[in-house]
Amino acid sequence: MHIVEVFGRILISLLFIFEGIRKIFNPDMGMMYMADHGVPEILFYPSVAFEIIVPLILIAGYKTKLMASLLALFVTSVTLIFHIPLIFSDSMQLLAALKNISILGGLLILISNKPQICSFDYYLENKK
């Protein structure tokens, strides 16, 4: 069943990777959306890099708890800044907030579990 965890890490990471790649090809829209919510545009490119690099590390299973924790903080902040203020006026924002809460649940499961055999963490832990 260890392969199931790998698929879980891949599936939870795909959302972040695709979103980061989408932002690369349409930066103006992302920057405008951030500015509309009071987030400085200077954070756009670091967030894009974060959305691509951290999930790739999570897929590899390296520093899984740390990477899942960083993504959980990211998801929480994005939800609070971009979705929660609008959930009563826009049903799509409510749906986006609930999606993010579900992602947060999956990340919390990764954080709470020990490294499995299909991860660098497991290899490094058992190499000793």
Give the pLDDT of residue 88.
Answer: 77
Residue 70's nearest CA partner among 3, 127, 12, 121 is: 12
Give the pLDDT of residue 1.
Answer: 59
Give the pLDDT of residue 55.
Answer: 98
3-state helix, strand, coil in the chain (%, to 5): 85, 0, 15
Give the pLDDT of residue 85.
Answer: 78
Low-confidence residues in the chain, pLDDT < 50: none
- Sole residue written with tokens 């951290």: 54
Q: Residue 74 and residue 55: Cα distance in Å, rounded? A: 12
pTM of the model: 0.91
Tens-digit pLDDT profile for residues 32-52: 999 999 999 999 999 999 999
